[in-house]
Every structure is written in C-alpha cells, then in structure tokens.
Amino acid sequence: MKKKWDIKLEVFGGLLALLWLAPFYLMFVNSFKSKKEIFMDTISLPEQWSFDNYITAFEELDFMRTLFNSLLITVVSVVLIIVFSAMAAYALSRAKSRLSTVLFFTFVAAMLIPFQSVMIPLVTVFGQFEMLNRGGLIFMYLGFGASLSIFLYHGALNNVPRSLDEAATIDGANRWQVFWHIIFPILKPITVTVAILNIIWIWNDYLLPSLVINTPGSETIPLKMFFFFGEYTKQWHLALAGLTLAIVPVIIFYFFAQREIIKGVSDGAVK
Amino acid sequence: MRTKDLSYWLFLAPVLLALTLVVIVPMLLGVYYSFTTWNGIDTGEFVGFQNYIDLFKDERFLDSLWFTTKFSIVSVILINIIGLSLALLVTGRVRSSKLLRTTFFMPNLIGGLILGFIWQFIFIKVFASVGEIIGMESLQGWLSTTDTGFWGLVILMSWQMAGYIMVIYIAYLEGMPKELLEASEIDGASTFQRFRYIVFPLVAPAFTVSMFLTLSNSFKLYDQNLSLTGGGPYNSTEMVAMEIFKTAFTQNAFAYAQAKAVIFFVIVAIIALVQVYLNKRKEVEM
C-alpha cells in the first residue's frame, strides 16, 4: 500500500520536532557565550564561538575520569546483569516446578518495590560491611536490574524449543555448554533489549551512586554533574558547557544505535 | 534440568544472592525498623505504630503526598495525549517519520537530573528574556512560585516521557490490520470516526501499559524534582520521594522516614495491582 503524502502534516511534524529540540539548542548556543552575553540575550547565536567555558568545565568535571567511571560501572553492571539473568531465567524456564514458579514471581514482584522503600536499610547494611563503593554499587545494580531482565529472558526462553537442549545433551554437552553454545546465541535479540534498557537506566542513575559512592575520583557523570552545577548555579555559561559535555556521550551512542534503542524500548514495554 | 540438580542452583545463585541482599533483606528490615526508634545504628526500642500515627499528622509529608498525586494525575493525562498524538503523527502520511521518532524519543536517553538542570536554565533565563521581549510579566520568575513550579515539573516530565509513550503506541498502531482502515475509508468513515471506532479500541492495551509506566514514573519522581526546583519555594514542590530522602538523610529521622517509605511502597503497590487487575479484566472481555 502506498501512503499518500500530507505536506501539512509534514510541516507540522517538523515544527514540533524543532520545539522538541529547542531546549538542547538553547543549552548548546548559550554554552559558548560569556556570562554577560547570556544576561543580554539568550536566544540568538553567540557573537563569538569561544571554547573557554568548555575548557573550564572539562577540567572542573575531571571529564575523562568521570566518563571512565560511568563507562566502567555501566559496562560491568550490564554484563553481569545479562550473564546472570539469562542463566537464572534459563534454569527457571527449564526446571518447571512449583519452586521455579515461586522464585519467578518473587523476581517479578520485586519490580513493584520502589527504591525509596529499601534505600535507607540498604545503605546502612552495606555501610556496616564497608560495601559503599563501586563494587557494592555494581552488586546493587545486579539486584535491582535482575527482575526485569529475568522477566524478559524468561518470556523469550519459553519460545526456544526444549528439543534443542535435548539434542545437544545427547551429543554429550553438559548444562553449561548447552546454555552458552546453543541457547544464549539464540537469545541475542532479547539480549540487545535487556542491554539497552539497563544501559539507559544505569548510565543516568543519580540517587543510588549519590548514596553509595563517597570517595572523590570515583563519581559517575550524573553525580559529578550535581556537584558541578551546585558550584556554578549563578554562572550559567559554565553550567551549560558542563551539561553539554555530559550529554555528548549519550548523543554519540544514540547516533550509532538509534534503531536498536527504539526497538529495544518498544519490545521491552510490549512483551 | 530439575530443581534438585546442583546446576539449577548454580545458575540461580548470583541473582538470588543479589536480590536477597539488595531488595528482600532491606525491605524486611525496613518494615521492622519502621516500628522502632532506629537511628541508623541502634535499633532502639519497639514503638508499635507510633511512627505511622505521627506521619498522618505530618503536614509536610501529607502536602508532598498531595502534590505528588496532583502531579501524577496531570502528567498521566498529558503524557498519554501527547504520546498518542505523536505516535499518530509519525505513523501518518509523513516522509520524515524516522527522523521525527528519533527526535521525540531523545530526551529519554538523558538522565532526569541533567534534563532538570537544562530546564532550570530555560525557565529562569530564557523565559525571563522572552517575557521581556514580548512584554509578558508572567514569564518572570518561573520556579519561584508553587504554581509555576508545578507546571515546570509537568512540562519537563511531559517533554521527556511523551517520546517513550509514543514508542509504545507506535508498536500497537503498526500491529494494527491495515485492511480494517482501508475498508473503513472506502466505506466513507471520517478521520474522527476511524479513530473512535477502529484505532482507539485497538490501541487500548497500549493505553494500559503506558498508563502504568507514566503513573509509576510520575509517582516515584526524584531526580527531576531535585534538579528543577529542589522542592522549593519553601518545600512546596517537594514530592514524596524527596520528602522521604530529606527526612532520613537531612533530619536523620531514620525510623520515621522508613515508616513513610513503607506507606510509599503500599501506595505504589496498590496502584500497580489495580492496573494489573483492570488489565486482566479487559483481556477477558476481548
């Protein structure tokens, strides 16, 4: 079926998109202005595209290190969530019993618990065991991220025929080999979804790192941004340069993986 | 694999351990602590329902609960209307569909904290200069009153989440049988009739999903609240999540904050269960 083209709708869509991008435009153009120029005029392009604000923000944010911290925590957490959630979902989907059902529903029910309800005991308990550090944070992400990931993997695994497992077992593979060589590769589409949903959440998380990370130098981007912004509340030129820097990695990621991201979010919500 | 096998438990061990230590134990401890005078270190003494009785007389807490409820209702309605409209737009007769989807979805990739800071600049600085140019006094000092702070939060949340909800509606709209629409067009149905009698019933399941997502996200909002208004002026835009945080870590009233957190959980759980119930009922009808 060929769609007719509606020029009015196209123009309307374009204008709406510009409106949607306006906050980013305003952030970007003002990040090159001087303090005085922002005061005079926030709408037009800067008189001179000066990188001074960026140099200050880059240094004050300790940007390369902060970026590395965010990458490290996100990558390690997401890899652990994928590996362990897929394994757990596999066990729960293959060993059908009342126990498996109870465990599965425990994981799903845990999604109902808002973070604020466990936050205070979590921090005090982990504090007593000296686990308020990056290792502890990654472990917490595994605990909070497992529910949705197991739910998604479990749904996908129910569509993978058991005859595959049996055939591989007859050929002499053990559980571990069956899972990693036969089953896990089949789960690739859902793994992409699980990865994307967890990357978005963990990369942007502020509250949990703010409670767990308390050594200078191991801050993630949102955490560092909070302190940075507090310091420069009255100095918008620096604050905006810092904000722009903070979102550049996300824009690059989005540019390369936009199809997978939108598909992953849609699959995650619909399934 | 059987549940008696060692491999079953080895496959489950890491997530079971993490879930237990990170969610289950803190939840159970939290419920217990909410009945005590716990201060973060010592359990203190058992006081029964005292903390719960106190919190129902705590005006700041009740105000934040009311503010959160108002905010959530307005956000859910606006986000769903905008999200569905965007979905209809990008699945309609436009060629730039992919580019539009990418654009509308973009805010969701950036953390709420950072988005809140960006909008703080817009409400404070840009609104003020636009107000000056077009001579509208009312654009001055946004975020410095309770009302404009409320709408600031609503605008930020709608702008951010509409694109997410759009993606969900698109999934259902694209799964819709095209023949139905074509047939109705041939039969002479108007755009409104087609929407009312064909599109709307078919996207109804999407409505349940997106309603649940917007409602629970609005109710649990913290980052955007913190970075946009910080709860000000005079705590009047403080939402429940932030109120609990401040009770615990600013006032050091751990047990009391935990009682609030338990009530918060009960409310969120009721919202979720009602949603699931309504969802199931609808499925039976269809």
Q: Looking at per-residue confidence, does B277 or B27 come out higher? A: B27
State residue B5's pLDDT score: 86
**Inter-chain residue contact B30 with A118, CB threshold 8 Å:** yes
- CA dist B110 and B269 (Å) reads 27
pLDDT in tens, B208-220: 888 888 998 999 9
State residue B28's pLDDT score: 96
Name which of A14, A143, A225 is nearest B113 (Cβ-Cβ): A225
Q: Which residue of chain B comes nearest to A10, CA vs CA?
A: B94
- End-to-end Cα, chain B, rounded Å: 37
Name which of B21, B89, B104 is nearest A143 (Cβ-Cβ): B21
Q: Assess whether pLDDT exceeds 90 at residue B136.
A: no
Q: What is the complex's ipTM, to 2 decimals?
A: 0.94
Q: Looking at per-residue confidence, does B70 or B192 come out higher? A: B70
Beta bridge partners of B46: B36
Residue A32, amino acid: F
pLDDT in tens, A136-151: 999 999 999 999 999 9
The verdict on B267 touching A (C-beta cutoff 8 Å) is no
DSSP notation for B39-94: -SS----B-TTHHHHHHTT-HHHHHHHHHHHHHHHHHHHHHHHHHHHHHHHHTSS-
Residue A222 CB neighbour total at 10 angstroms: 25
- CA dist B225 and B227 (Å) reads 6
Preferred mutation among A94, A120, A126, A236 to probe B, highest tally of B CBs within 10 A: A120
State residue B286's pLDDT score: 43
- CA dist B38 and B54 (Å) reads 15
State the architecture of A63-269 in CATH terms: Orthogonal Bundle (1.10)
The verdict on A15 touching B (C-beta cutoff 8 Å) is no
The verdict on B145 touching A (C-beta cutoff 8 Å) is no
The verdict on A230 touching B (C-beta cutoff 8 Å) is no
> Mean of the pLDDT values across residues B92-101?
92
pLDDT in tens, A181-212: 999 999 999 999 999 999 999 999 999 999 99
Query: A with B: how many residue pairs have Cβ under 8 Å apart?
Result: 268
pLDDT in tens, A5-62: 889 999 999 999 999 999 999 999 999 999 889 888 888 899 889 899 999 999 999 9
Alpha carbon of B49: minimum distance to chain A alpha carbons (Å): 17
State residue B282's pLDDT score: 64
Find where tokens 């939840």 sit: B27
The verdict on A264 touching B (C-beta cutoff 8 Å) is no
Domain covering B58-281 in this structure, CATH number: 1.10.3720.10
Q: Which residue of chain B comes nearest to A114, CA vs CA?
A: B265
Coil/strand/helix, residue A39: helix
